[in-house]
Chains A and B, each alone.
Chain A
Amino acid sequence: MEELLVVEKIRKSFPGVLAVADVSFTLGKGEILALIGENGAGKSTLSQVLGGALRPDSGRILLEGREVSFASPLEAIHDGIRMMFQELSLVGSLSIAENIFANRQPVGPLNSIRWKKLHQETTEFLQRFRVSLDPRLLVKRLVKGEQQILEFLKAISSGPKVLILDEPTSSLTETESAYLMDNIRALRAEGMSFIYITHKLSEVFKISDRVIVMRDGRYVGSRETAQCTERDLVAMMVGRDISNSAFHPSATEDGECLRIEGLSRRGVFADISFRVRKGEILGLSGLVGSGRTELARSVFGMDPKDGGKVFLEGRLLHVGNPSEAIRQGIVYLTEDRKELGLFLDMPIRDNLVAPSLRRFTSALGFVQMKPINGFAAQKMQEFFIAAPSALKKVRKLSGGNQQKCLVATWVGTEPKAIFLDEPTRGVDVASRAEIYVKIQELARRGVGIVLISSDLPELIGLCDRILVMHQGRLAGEVRRPDFSEELILSYATGLQSGHSEDRARHG
């Protein structure tokens, strides 16, 4: 294969940390190269060096045989290396067309924008990628998945030679992910090359030609994807052999923890009924937009509900707001840790106690710092949160440690029932395993757990039962002996509905 990009001994250090240590690799023309490694392995730093956001301390980058160096991402884009950022770079108040053609709108005399031409070109461009959205539609009117797809289209619209994708499917539905991958393959056929950073090993096998692994800033090795197994890669990433999902059947007691009866919210979800036993891990699957998150938010009192009842340990609950829910013992761990879950600019300690402050308040209303410090130290240890001090700002932590903070925060409220919404999204393999251990521990203590996840292997690995939602309704229930990705997906996509039958059986 023709070599497009040659990376030679790239080194980048930050005060006190060697983030990337003399990493070398090559990328062929029309190749999809997966880049994997735990959080902190240096993948992001390396990709930022390649994308021009960081300058390397030493090393060379050769693009098509010519040495290049970039002072800014803009220069990298000019030379044909483009990064697609995890954070969206779209402007909500502008149209789809103006976002795709940001600052390169077709212009006429006096630099005035030729709107007709702009919209026509956008339509043609979108049609090439089988998207039929009105180019004049404002981006803020699109849902998150659509925005992510648009971000991708914007990145390829400038025709880069190398596109660096960092966790591109983290907020996409299955269909959208499939759409993205189809397009990546199509562009590969046209000669575009990709560096694909991901935590999801399943994606490595789905999309990549070759995979390179990094650990502690170093290059560990490279494999032809077709010739290795998931186990090989995990071993390379963590430097030892760990089992990813060892299912221990939960010690489900007979007692009922949570019962939901006929819960509805107009236009969002309808007639949802199910029960969770004490110590049970109940999976809740479904495509994004199927109403799973919204269901959890309504039970937690964040969103209103139009009808239905929630029982906790047989008692009918009237929960109108999250504060009430927390007090009763039902909590919800959000899927969006940055926007909704954590106070990023506050210390770890203050995050950990945020929903439990009531416990640390004296009769006169004063907050008691001593027990709080003890609590924070204990939680950091229990949940393997790697940070020099409990006073470190959460923003400074890696994604995995942030997520462990979030889990510790909510488990720390000592709930009776907990909804975990995508508890391992964007988290490295080791942190993921640690979170799994914590979820199982929680179940052993008799807490009823509802695990919402788009990651089917995760649900299959952890759950006792899986409920599947489709368009706001329960489409089916899958029991452990019948677990398979195909069956869950067929319910989730509406191909199959086992609702009535299951209700007769377990209702």
Chain B
Amino acid sequence: MGNPQEVRKHSLGERVAAVFAFRESILILVLLVGGIIMTAASPVFLTWPNLEAILLGLSVEGTIAVGMVILLVSGGLDLSVGSTLAFTGVVCGLALTAGVPSVIAILLALLAAFTVGLVNGLLIAKLKMNPFIITLGMMITIRGLLLVLAGGRAVLNLPDSFTVIGQGRLLGIQYPIFVVILMTVFGDLLLRNTRFFRQNYYIGGKEQAARLSGIKVDFLKVFNYCLIAVISGISGLLITARFGSASLTVGSGIELRVITAAIIGGASLNGGEGSVLGAILGALFMGILANSLNLLGVDVYWQNLVTGLMLILAVVFDMINEKRKEQRR
């Protein structure tokens, strides 16, 4: 403000640069180019069964990524999502095999998931505990709890009235795919445009300042952990329904894949940054990458290596970009 009269003008070049300053635009471009290359390289890539497989994979990680990116924006983190996912499936499965009607079993299972989130949220918001530690502890605890509950065996033979939610089709497309699409569209609109969800950017950016602006920080934190737990629960129910059985190991490691997706999509572990669209694109990117390596006949062991490199590249790219912008001033 050395010169308050100075006006920043935007040339066409700057406008184009501004569009590509958004992580989402870059990811879309990368996905398009990658898609075109893959279409040329493999006759299978652009077929419906293959795309459906990619989208089904995305339906689990993508759905949870919506909740995770909201948490990351607010400066939080949840490592217990994979355990919650499996836990919900097991609770539902046990209820079903005990003869509880499907709707009640689903509600019960979601209530169980909600409770996990509530405990996480209360410990982190009210007792000001570190989210990494609390949710790490919760991840181990819940995984243990579900093993105890299920007696170490997967819950099999679930009724059709339940499995339909994971296997049913609308217009030839499986329900879980609709769920992830709806979650993405609504999640993005909510986080981007509503005052309620936008509060998360203030909390993640500067918590004290958020309080001063009248934001109910603690409430919102608890809300976020409950939200992601319920979302993980829904994912767990869909996956259990899709497989027709409640697995005890399902969802292991998903927390890190989801966080990776969100960060590739522009979120930051320091809070204050990220978008739902970005996180979903990040998840899609990882899904398509894995699928492409598969189609190209690359050994499955390479997938982790490549995904890890992509994460590091994305973060390094961010840092260089940030430096460049600072220097331009």
B-binding residues in A (CB < 8 A) = 72-74, 77, 88-94, 98, 102-105, 107, 110-113, 115, 130-134, 137, 141, 143, 145-146, 149, 173, 175-176, 179, 267, 287, 289
Contacts A89-B212, A133-B8 given; 9 further ones with Cβ under 8 A?
Answer: A91-B202, A91-B209, A91-B272, A94-B202, A103-B202, A107-B194, A111-B194, A111-B195, A112-B195
**A96 CA to B92 CA, complexed, in Å:** 48
Contact A176 B212 (CB under 8 A): no
Contact A176 B195 (CB under 8 A): no
Which of B205, B208, B212 has the most chain A CB atoms closer than 10 A to its own CB? Answer: B212
Can you list 7 A-B pairs, Cβ within 8 angstroms, ordered by A?
A: A92-B205, A93-B201, A94-B205, A103-B214, A111-B195, A132-B7, A267-B327
Which residues of B lie under 8 Å from residue A134 when comparing CB positions?
8
Is B6 an interface residue, CB under 8 A from the partner? yes
Contact A173 B205 (CB under 8 A): no
Which residues of B lie under 8 Å from residue A94 when comparing CB positions?
201-202, 205, 272
Contact A173 B2 (CB under 8 A): yes
Chain B stretch 209-237: residues in CB contact (< 8 A) with chain A: 209-215
Contact A132 B6 (CB under 8 A): yes
Q: Whose C-beta in chain A lies nearest to the C-beta of B2?
A: A175
Which residues of B lie under 8 Å from residue A175 when comparing CB positions?
1-2
Which residues of A lie under 8 Å from residue B205 when comparing CB positions?
91-94
Contact B272 A93 (CB under 8 A): yes
Is B43 an interface residue, CB under 8 A from the partner? no
Given contacts A90-B209, A93-B273, A141-B325, contact A105 B4 (CB under 8 A): no
Contact A113 B193 (CB under 8 A): yes
Among candidates A104, A113, A141, A289, residue contacting B194 with C-beta atoms closer than 8 Å: A113
Contact A103 B195 (CB under 8 A): yes
Number of interface residues of B (CB under 8 A): 31
Contact A131 B4 (CB under 8 A): yes
Shortest CB distance B296–A (Å): 38
Is B15 an interface residue, CB under 8 A from the partner? no
Is B257 an interface residue, CB under 8 A from the partner? no
Shortest CB distance A291–B (Å): 14
Given contacts A102-B202, A105-B198, A113-B194, contact A130 B4 (CB under 8 A): yes
Could you count the A-B residue pairs with CB atoms below 8 Å apart for me: how many are there?
Answer: 92
Q: Whose C-beta in chain A lies nearest to the C-beta of B73?
A: A93
Which residues of B lie under 8 Å from residue A112 when comparing CB positions?
189, 193-195
**A149 CA to B3 CA, complexed, in Å:** 13
Given contacts A94-B201, A132-B4, A176-B1, contact A102 B209 (CB under 8 A): yes
Q: Whose C-beta in chain B lies nearest to the C-beta of A149?
A: B1
Instruction: Flag B1-27 by CB within 8 Å of A: 1 or 0 each.
Output: 110111110000000000000000000
**A176 CA to B3 CA, complexed, in Å:** 9
Which residues of B lie under 8 Å from residue A105 when comparing CB positions?
195, 198
Contact A143 B195 (CB under 8 A): no
- 7 smallest CB-CB distances across A and B, nearest first, come from A91-B205, A89-B209, A102-B213, A93-B272, A103-B213, A112-B193, A111-B194
**A141 CA to B323 CA, complexed, in Å:** 11
Which residues of B lie under 8 Å from residue A143 when comparing CB positions?
329
Which residues of B lie under 8 Å from residue A131 when comparing CB positions?
1, 4
**A107 CA to B195 CA, complexed, in Å:** 7
Is B126 an interface residue, CB under 8 A from the partner? no
Shortest CB distance B22–A (Å): 12
Is B206 an interface residue, CB under 8 A from the partner? yes
Instruction: Flag B287-329 by CB within 8 Å of A: 1 or 0 each.
Output: 0000000000000000000000000000000000000010101
Which residues of A lie under 8 Å from residue B202 when comparing CB positions?
91, 94, 102-103
Which residues of B lie under 8 Å from residue A110 when comparing CB positions?
194
**A75 CA to B86 CA, complexed, in Å:** 44
Among candidates B5, B7, B195, residue contacting A113 with C-beta atoms closer than 8 Å: B195
Which residues of B lie under 8 Å from residue A88 when comparing CB positions?
206
Which of B1, B2, B212, B213 has the most chain A CB atoms closer than 10 A to its own CB? Answer: B1
Shortest CB distance B235–A (Å): 26
Q: Whose C-beta in chain B lies nearest to the C-beta of A175?
A: B2
**A133 CA to B6 CA, complexed, in Å:** 8
Contact B5 A132 (CB under 8 A): yes
**A134 CA to B14 CA, complexed, in Å:** 14
Is B132 an interface residue, CB under 8 A from the partner? no
Which residues of A lie under 8 Å from residue B6 when comparing CB positions?
132
Shortest CB distance B32–A (Å): 27
Is B196 an interface residue, CB under 8 A from the partner? yes
Which residues of A lie under 8 Å from residue B198 when comparing CB positions?
98, 105, 113
Q: Whose C-beta in chain B lies nearest to the C-beta of A103?
A: B213
**A113 CA to B194 CA, complexed, in Å:** 6
Instruction: Flag B158-193 by CB within 8 Å of A: 1 or 0 each.
Output: 000000000000000000000000000000010001
Which residues of B lie under 8 Å from residue A137 when comparing CB positions?
8
Is B120 an interface residue, CB under 8 A from the partner? no
Which of A73, A91, A110, A133 has the most chain B CB atoms closer than 10 A to its own CB? Answer: A91
**A132 CA to B211 CA, complexed, in Å:** 28
Contact B195 A92 (CB under 8 A): no
**A137 CA to B325 CA, complexed, in Å:** 12
Shortest CB distance B202–A (Å): 6
Q: Whose C-beta in chain A lies nearest to the C-beta of B206?
A: A91
Is B88 an interface residue, CB under 8 A from the partner? no
Contact B1 A145 (CB under 8 A): yes
Q: Whose C-beta in chain A lies nearest to the C-beta of B201?
A: A94
Shortest CB distance B75–A (Å): 11
Is B63 an interface residue, CB under 8 A from the partner? no
Which residues of B lie under 8 Å from residue A145 when comparing CB positions?
1-2
Which residues of A lie under 8 Å from residue B189 when comparing CB positions?
112
**A107 CA to B193 CA, complexed, in Å:** 9
**A90 CA to B5 CA, complexed, in Å:** 23
Contact A141 B329 (CB under 8 A): yes
Shortest CB distance A185–B (Å): 16
**A110 CA to B190 CA, complexed, in Å:** 10
Contact A289 B2 (CB under 8 A): yes
**A173 CA to B273 CA, complexed, in Å:** 30
Shortest CB distance B216–A (Å): 10
Is B135 an interface residue, CB under 8 A from the partner? no
Which residues of A lie under 8 Å from residue B1 when comparing CB positions?
131, 133, 145-146, 149, 175-176, 179
Is B59 an interface residue, CB under 8 A from the partner? no
Q: Whose C-beta in chain A lies nearest to the C-beta of B325?
A: A141
Which residues of B lie under 8 Å from residue A103 when comparing CB positions?
195, 199, 202, 210, 213-215
Q: Whose C-beta in chain B lies nearest to the C-beta of A77?
A: B212
Shortest CB distance B49–A (Å): 38
Which residues of A lie under 8 Å from residue B194 when comparing CB positions?
107, 110-113
**A131 CA to B2 CA, complexed, in Å:** 10
Q: Whose C-beta in chain B lies nearest to the C-beta of A146?
A: B1
Chain B stretch 261-275: residues in CB contact (< 8 A) with chain A: 272-273
Shortest CB distance B211–A (Å): 7
Q: Whose C-beta in chain A lies nearest to the C-beta of B205?
A: A91
Given contacts A74-B214, A103-B202, contact A89 B208 (CB under 8 A): yes
Q: Whose C-beta in chain A lies nearest to the C-beta of B328?
A: A141
Which residues of B lie under 8 Å from residue A173 when comparing CB positions?
2
Shortest CB distance A140–B (Å): 9
**A141 CA to B326 CA, complexed, in Å:** 7
Which of A72, A112, A287 has the most chain B CB atoms closer than 10 A to its own CB? Answer: A112
Shortest CB distance A141–B (Å): 7
Which residues of A lie under 8 Å from residue B214 when comparing CB positions?
74, 77, 103-104
Q: Whose C-beta in chain B lies nearest to the C-beta of A76?
A: B212
